[in-house]
Amino acid sequence: MNNRSKVIQKRIMKLKEKRNAAILSHNYQRPEIQEIADFIGDSLELAVKATKINAEIIVFCGVDFMAETAAILNPDKKVIIPSADAKCPMAAQLPAGLVRKAKENNPDVPFVIYVNSHAEARAEADVCCTSANADRIVEQLNSDTIMLGPDANLAWYAQRKARKRVIPIPSNGYCYVHRAFRKEHVSKVRREYPDAAVIVHPECDPEVQLSADFVGSTSQMLKFAKKTDYERIIVGTELGLIQRMRREIPDKSFIPLNSVICFNMKKNTLENLLNAIEKETNAVNVPPSVAERAKKPIKRMVEIS
Ligand code: 13P
Ligand code: SF4
């Protein structure tokens, strides 16, 4: 990291104290942001942490849907995001109208909504899930058939683990980052590194999941990496997590399954983080009527988890 970055980090740390702000960072954020965060985690950990924050301002370093969750759970706090353009494209694949229509067509089937969705869509659903708990949520619902969206690969993962029928809504929702991992990449690394473990995210295609040794959320992958006896681990998710693994587990080696980054997550930089905290800009506001309804499925998820 260069000197300029270190200077900006120091300015952010000072302002953070002065403004009584807390910085939450997703595992995919740039290393220089993760280094100054009060807490780093996956979507579930961040949602739970957001309910326990003792600060007036939450600076959410992640994408829009994550910051919306923090805002919904903290109506008395100001939630700001470094870049207003840090938006997850998958969330846009499930508009609220699609959830309503699916529920009209299947009135007795619960709708589990992936947290990678917007507040308006969540307000229509029965319960939220993240990649860390989709299987458990599906398993615990009192129905043999469940609807889950927008990620069709996560729906496939939950169906396989919970042994229930899971209908993906829409049928083809996906993440462009995780779609870049192919079965051929797994075959190639298996040949090159026969002694390594392959771990991937449930947003990867089913054939990639089936060829891996472990499938889990970003923080579940981190926990696996910390506990396993494997010394070399091939990681099928965004680069930010691999950088965290290398920082926190220096005695093991981590190799990307394919070098991919989420450009949307990377829109947050030290510079716009400093600007946002200095000027308290990019406040994340969810209309109270939507927030009230969107809170129920999130709370239900936190309770079940
Ligand atoms: P996690 O909840 O596993 O951190 O995943 C969030 C995400 O956006 C994955 O692409
Ligand atoms: Fe969205 Fe995929 Fe980026 Fe996660 S990695 S924030 S699902 S685009």
Please report, for the chain, the start and end positions of each structural domain, with discontinuous segments joined by +: 3-87+265-285, 91-174, 178-256
Looking at 3.30.540.10, 3.40.50.10800, 3.60.21.10, 2.60.40.1930, the CATH number of the domain 178-256 comes to: 3.40.50.10800
Per-residue tens of pLDDT for the chain, all 305 residues: 789 999 999 999 999 999 999 999 999 999 999 999 999 999 999 988 988 989 999 999 999 999 999 999 999 999 999 999 999 999 999 999 999 999 999 999 999 999 999 999 999 999 999 999 999 999 999 999 999 999 999 999 999 999 999 999 999 999 999 999 999 999 999 999 999 999 999 999 999 999 999 999 999 999 999 999 999 999 999 999 999 999 999 999 999 999 999 999 999 999 999 999 999 999 999 999 999 999 999 999 988 87
What is the distance between the alpha carbons of residues 285 and 82, in angstroms, rounded to a whole number?
14
Residue pair 184/97 in contact by the 8 Å Cβ criterion: no
CA of 275 from ligand 2 middle (Å) equals 24
The ligand whose atoms approach the alpha carbon of 150 most closely is 2
* Same fold? 3-87+265-285, 91-174: yes
Residue of 130, 263, 264 best suited for mutating to test ligand 2, as the one with most atoms within 8 Å of CB: 264
Question: Does ligand 1 come within 6 angstroms of the Cβ of 131?
Answer: yes
Alpha helices by DSSP H, listed for the chain, are 3-19, 31-34, 43-50, 64-73, 96-105, 119-122, 134-140, 152-162, 183-192, 206-210, 218-227, 239-248, 270-279, 288-304
Q: Is 132 helix (H, G, I), strand (E, B) or coil?
A: coil
Residue pair 231/253 in contact by the 8 Å Cβ criterion: yes
Ligand 2 neighbours, Cβ below 6 Å, are 63, 88-90, 116, 175-177, 203, 238, 262, 264-265
Question: Does ligand 1 come within 6 angstroms of the Cβ of 282?
Answer: no
| pTM: predicted TM-score of the whole model, two decimal places | 0.96
Tell me if the domain spanning 91-174 has CATH number 3.40.50.10800: yes
Question: Does ligand 1 come within 6 angstroms of the Cβ of 218?
Answer: yes
Question: Does ligand 1 come within 6 angstroms of the Cβ of 27?
Answer: yes
CA of 270 from ligand 2 middle (Å) equals 20
Nearest protein CA to atom 6 of ligand 2, as residue: 88
Question: Does ligand 1 come within 6 angstroms of the Cβ of 64?
Answer: no
Which CATH architecture describes the domain 3-87+265-285?
3-Layer(aba) Sandwich (3.40)
